[in-house]
A = this chain, B = another copy of it.
Amino acid sequence: METTKFFSEDMLSDVVTVLKALADPTRLKIINILMDGETCSCEFTEQLELPANLLSHHLRTLKKANLITGRRDNVDGRWIYYSLNKEALARWQQLLGEFLDPARIEPRKCLCGPEGQTAPINPEKVMIETN
């Protein structure tokens, strides 16, 4: 008997990648800053006080998780602007919301242990057996 899988095996890897990308205080702050709209890296270094290379590393991690995108400045190509991937965010909000949904929890109790053997929780079965 196999449990119904929520995430397919190939999707599991993506889920873990995104969750790992989210599981860092600096990157959570980056995402929150990006909620204000397209942002240049000067705001990151100002608000996060990170060296440029470390900021680059975290942005790279978020990029690999497909959570953000970057584009170069039209006037001065040295500058880069970063934005949240709105579609990806919506997708993960939805998927994680469904996965964590407490309504999915079933009231079933495990019957394979000693407790389930000696004290069945099903009242109907008790009635039938005692008839």
Contacts and interface: CB of A to CB of B under 8 A. Distances in A.
* Copy total for this chain: 2
Contacts of A117: 75
Contact of A74 (B81, B97, B115): B115
A81 B110 contact: yes
Contact of A89 (B86, B102, B112): B102
A16 B23 contact: yes
A35 to B, nearest CB: 5
B109 A100 contact: no
A93 B110 CA distance: 25
Given A32-B6, A96-B96, A22 B19 contact: yes
A47 to B, nearest CB: 6
